[in-house]
A and B are shown apart, each in its own frame.
Chain A
Amino acid sequence: MNSATVRNLLVRGMLAGLAAGLLALVVAYFLGESRVDAAIAFEEAHAHEHGGVEAVSRTMQSTAGLSTGVLVYGVAFGGIAALAYCFALGRVGRFGPRASALLLAAAGLVAVYVVPFLKYPANPPATSDPETIDQRTTLYFLMVVLSVLLAVAAVILGKRLAPRLGNWNATLAAGAFFVLAVGLAYAFLPSYNEVPKDFPATLLWQFRLAALAVQVTLWTVFGLVFGVLAERALAPRTAAAGEEAAHPRAAAVPH
């Protein structure tokens, strides 16, 4: 029964992730693609060595390729978030299935994307040095892992402090811990700024805003859709838990 619930939530999480990916894809296509094209036009105008045969045409990259990437990303994070939800449910605070889903999505957006983004923002084509791809990749994933671990640590810390400080102050303390730890990571990890001097600042800004919009769409839609799906999957458990709290003996009655 418990294992079946986990499987149920996992499947629903991946479906919600797919739905979220579809909407994020719309945002990426309409807000993002024109900026990618503009950046590639800049790249080609300044190219020294480029001009070989394209393995994948721009049309395919901006449609089928973009769809593959964004949808797989949505499904993958939907699944991971659903598993995190299974752990968090009933353990983090007294939140119902829908509130839990939305809170988890908000935490996912901040920990998985916004925190790493503020240090290593999304870059359009033509603004990074291919020579540093190894370091940039390592540091980006390190920042994501660190941010997620710190967020989990902050939640556990908040839970531990709650009995002594009360929920409000414990949440503030946990938040302060997270901000401080992230600030330290920002201060000590190296930064990269490889944007060419004459690359349009407006284009860079718009590209990064579009990238942020894609993620905000993805996680918001995921939180809302998964909340509804999870609530349905959990309905018997919620009822049973409510019954048990109200009438401890009634929980023994099968239904």
Chain B
Amino acid sequence: MKEMIIVIALADLTTLGTIRTWPGLLVAVTGDEIWVRGIPPDTTDIQLRKLPAKHTFLADTQERLFLPGKQTPHDMLKKMSWEAIASFMTVELPVSAMPARSGEGYAVRLAPTTATAEPFAVLTTLEHWKAYADTAPLIRLQRLSFAVCETGEVLVIGTPVPSMPGKVFTLRDNILLPAGYDFDPPVIGQLIPTWSGTESDTLLLFRVDGQWEKIPGNVFVRASRSAIRLTNTF
């Protein structure tokens, strides 16, 4: 005999995956069946025997089909369109090998706290800042720096924090928190510097609603009356 041929149901197509890499195998689909040929006639491999074969034939060189152990042919091999099993069954990456999806982002929350801390910064308007600097004692101005954004908001840092209308912030590990507030839970505060990867001179300003922004150290200007007076937004 030249070769072994097996027939399995089309529904059991995936079971052929175990023999997909065997050399010389050809497959053809006819109706709801898949025919596989090119199997060595004396094969007893366990992977072959585990296949849910509906029929097993041995074929001779004239493509006559014999049932195993029978001396007379059972049928003739029909004309079918044969294809190499490797191209017939393509490989798909198993889903389990893909990295897991990261979970949803954690929303940082702030909550009122009873712990007290010295104020370090005030968020105010350019108008208020100019009015303060106009008559402020020099000894106080010299200890302050400020940064202005396009909207006219001014962040003044340094102590003593000037007395003027605005929102006051405390400082901890380069994080500016609204006075009277802390992270909820407070331990989050210890993780944020590592998570944010900020430079040593960059401040992270948090608002009461958990929104935050990075303020690089190089945007701050040392406070002087002329520097403040000559600052304008467009």
A and B are interacting partners: no
